[in-house]
Amino acid sequence: MEELLMLKELLQEGKIPEALELVEELEEMSKSDKLNKIFSYGIIVLLHLIKQAAEKRTTRSWEASIFNAVKQIQRTNKRPKTKGNYLTEAELLETLQDAYESALRKAALEVYEGKYSADELSEVVNQESIIQEALNLILATPN
């Protein structure tokens, strides 16, 4: 909120270059917030996909968590005015790859009641196929 008041003041004073610089900062802050949300929801999607792959089963709770996290990623990534997306497919893939280790560590605590360490679990599941499955779910047309 402070930034908006500062922007108003800069515009009223006719300091256009400074105002534009502040607008760019605000855009970066907004995009950073969206990236953090997508990263966090990506961890949730990956966590449950890892659990499904490791345990070779699913639950309605896992399915609901995957659905909800995918929906949140799709909503967060959507640009309302331009009808485009904040992140490209390649950037989404990079975000999921970055989130994978966190998801794997969380999954290691839950799969078979923590039977595997993260390193052991990584040998049981296929990282590339899990990330690709997550990406496919996110890129699917939202319901």
Model pLDDT for residues 29-77, shown as the tens digit of each residue: 888 899 999 999 999 999 999 999 999 999 999 999 999 999 999 999 9
Residue 19 lies in a domain: no
Residue 49 lies in a domain: yes
* Residue of 134, 138, 104 lying closest to 118 (CA atoms): 104
Which DSSP category does 140 fall into? Answer: S
Domain that holds residue 38: 34-139
Coil, strand or helix: which one is 98? helix
Q: Which residue has the higher pLDDT, 23 or 105?
A: 105
Residue 3 lies in a domain: no
Residue 23 lies in a domain: no
Residue 130 lies in a domain: yes
Which DSSP category does 125 fall into? Answer: S
Residue 114 lies in a domain: yes
**Contact between residue 67 and residue 137 where contact means Cβ atoms under 8 Å apart:** no
Domain count, the chain: 1
pLDDT at site 80: 81
Positive/negative CA dihedral, 32, 34, 37, 39? negative
pLDDT at site 79: 85
Residue 5 lies in a domain: no
CA distance to 35, 62, 102, 121, 128, per residue, from 111 (Å):
27, 12, 14, 9, 19
Residue 17 lies in a domain: no
Query: What global pTM score does this model have?
Result: 0.85
pLDDT at site 142: 63
CA distance to 21, 85, 94, 98, 132, per residue, from 136 (Å):
37, 16, 14, 17, 6
